[in-house]
Structure 1
Amino acid sequence: MKALNDLKIFIETARRHSLSAAARNMDITPAAASAALKRLENEVGALLFIRSTRNLRLTQQGEQFLNYCEQAVGLMTEACGAISEGQAEFQGVIKLSMPSDCGRNLLLGWIDEFMDLHPKLDVRIQLTDGLADMYTQPVDVALRYGEPSDSSLVALPIAGGNKRILCASPDYLSEYGYPDSPHELVKHNCLCFALGESLYNRWRFFNQGQEQILVVKGNRYANDGEAVRRWALAGKGIAYKSLLDVKDDLQQGRLLEIDIGRETEPAPLYLVCASRRVINPQIQALREFLAGKVKKHVSSL
């Protein structure tokens, strides 16, 4: 369906803020993507993007249209998949790996909602902060922060605008003070994440576009993101966590965001798989469902 494909190109372009990036992700040429957007704008009768040589952003009409498009494409993808499979609803198994903290406290609840909509689906979850080997482990897709280092993997955005934030409990900041500069941050007890033999104690920030790396120290580190979050809640130090992981804690005042005058590191959440052939209608519908949930979740902060 050309019209449905045009909507998908529009959504991907809006998410990536780049026509060329959307084209690469969808395995089409930039010219084909541009033609699709022009077709869509002609049909809608409104300008959807404001374009310049370096930037591309949605117009007000484009933002309104995007909300409807995401819902429509999700429903159409599910409908087409059900018809092509000769069934009224999704069946089969989705084997999914996800991070421990975000997985336990956020994603599992959303996946339960998705399964309530599709009761004939089975979902097998692997909760781990380790990087699942998509070629050897029994995993169809993985939800992971950051683009995969293996360029042969396919990464579809779930939360492209997510970022890391510095945070600590009110009790910790009351006792040890509020760091408002990189120099003061390195004097604090920093709670670090470890993966295998690698300790992630080199925290990345940006100052007017220039990367700055701070080597931090602390008396606690763990290979489990939820353990780091629990230490922060218990007042044991400062954590550098994904906003998705701590959004509820910030909203309830259990953690406070710390501003040291630097931009924080991006932490986009992707759905990753070994091949586009893995992305069947069930997985595509799950991706759209989770992307919609993330959008509502972060907008309420």
Structure 2
Amino acid sequence: MNDRPGLNELSAFIAIATQRSFRKAADALGLSASTLSHMMRTLEHRMGARLLNRTTRSVSPTAAGEMLLARLQPILRDLDIALAEVDEFSGQPSGILRINASEIAALVLLRSVIPTFLNRYPKMHLDLAAEGKFVDIVSQGFDAGIRLGESVPQDMIAIRFGGPARLIPVASPSYLAMHGTPQTPDDLAGHNCVRFRLPSGKLFHWEFEKNGQEISVDVNGHLTLDRVDLMAEAALLGLGIAFVPERTALPFIETGRLTGLLDSWCPKFPGLVLYYPGHRLVPPGLRAFVDVLRETESQLSIGD
């Protein structure tokens, strides 16, 4: 192949293949969709193979495109890291740091780590994706992920932070005045509970433990939600009892708008973990983020 593709064409191909959309890739790259379409036609002509399947509604890599994507992603990532390491000689890492986190983890980071990180490293851009669904951070192009420790794959480098966490049932004083206060997990059967739907589609069972006795409760209720912040809001409105992270409920408990329930039945469990692959170079921006995370450790408790 005498006419070797340029770096811009290959980067554009990766953006389209991962976003599965010319429009989204164009937005990310700051180009027009028509420009990207022309670049892909040129790239396919140079490669002598069709790389993308296009329809009016979707874009997906062909078998050749999948192979090229798998080869290119680590190469271009290492190139970005090499360039970023050169930038370190100026004393400031630069570039984009992509992190995938749960909604709760994102809120915790926004309260301390992220402001410090962005103020200290003005050349960095943080792309934080907050979502409930657990994703493969490598295949999705993220530098790191943040989840509860029990969810992290074993082959990842993991850094614990924020201390232990726990889930607690909460309800508004008005709801409890009308329906009574449960004294044991079994009492929840007589209450209207706000249920939580997991990203998999399954309903979350409320789990309790006391003196070695474990109880899993499949609660009933008229409302099912898939976001923790909405569950807390539903409890505030008196719509029932919600089972939420203590960190989420604590501000409302302290002001008397919510009441914590079944305290002795709610043990703590290992908290949040920042994780990233151990088999590849760590970008300077991620190293800087980890440094800030460790500095602000004392401010990040999600359990107390």
Report the TM range for the smaller structure's normalisation. Answer: 0.5 to 0.7
TM-aligned CA distance change 1:267 to 1:202, over 3 Å: farther
Q: 2:249 aligns with which of 240, 246, 249?
A: 246
TM-aligned CA distance change 1:260 to 1:83, over 3 Å: same
Offset, 1:153: 3.1
TM-aligned CA distance change 1:294 to 1:230, over 3 Å: farther
| Structure 2 residue aligned with 1:143 | 146
Which secondary structure does the structure 2 equivalent of 1:191 belong to?
A: strand
Offset, 1:131: 0.9
Offset, 1:122: 0.6
1:167 aligns with 2:170: yes
1:264 aligns with 2:281: no
TM-aligned CA distance change 1:108 to 1:211, over 3 Å: same
* 1:134-171 superposed Cα distances (whole Å, 9 cap, x missing partner): 12213211221242263223332112312212212222
Taking the aligned partners of 2:302 and 2:139, their CA distance within structure 1 comes to: 37
| Structure 2 residue aligned with 1:41 | none
Q: Which structure's CA Rg is the greater one?
A: 2
| Structure 2 residue aligned with 1:179 | 182
| Structure 1 residue aligned with 2:109 | 107
User: What letter matches 1:108 in structure 2?
Assistant: L
* 1:200-252 superposed Cα distances (whole Å, 9 cap, x missing partner): 43111112134321221222222222222221222211122112222322223
Taking the aligned partners of 2:98 and 2:232, their CA distance within structure 1 comes to: 26
CA contact (8 A) 1:82 1:89 kept: no
TM-aligned CA distance change 1:298 to 1:279, over 3 Å: same
CA contact (8 A) 2:96 2:126 kept: yes
| Structure 1 residue aligned with 2:216 | 213
| Structure 2 residue aligned with 1:232 | 235
Gaps of 5+ in 1: 1-80
Taking the aligned partners of 1:261 and 1:155, their CA distance within structure 2 comes to: 30
TM-aligned CA distance change 1:257 to 1:291, over 3 Å: farther
Which secondary structure does the structure 2 equivalent of 1:86 belong to?
A: helix
TM-aligned CA distance change 1:288 to 1:257, over 3 Å: farther
- TM (norm. structure 1) is 0.63
TM-aligned CA distance change 1:149 to 1:140, over 3 Å: closer
Taking the aligned partners of 1:262 and 1:128, their CA distance within structure 2 comes to: 28
- Greater mean alpha carbon deviation, residues 180-189 or residues 283-292: 283-292
1:133 aligns with 2:146: no
CA contact (8 A) 1:180 1:260 kept: no
TM-aligned CA distance change 1:232 to 1:112, over 3 Å: same
Q: 2:226 aligns with which of 223, 226, 235?
A: 223
1:117 aligns with 2:129: no
Gaps of 5+ in 2: 1-83
- TM (norm. structure 2) is 0.62
Taking the aligned partners of 2:282 and 2:257, their CA distance within structure 1 comes to: 38
User: What letter matches 1:289 in structure 2?
Assistant: V
Offset, 1:109: 4.0
Which secondary structure does the structure 2 equivalent of 1:85 belong to?
A: helix
Q: CA RMSD in A?
A: 3.0
Which secondary structure does the structure 2 equivalent of 1:119 belong to?
A: coil
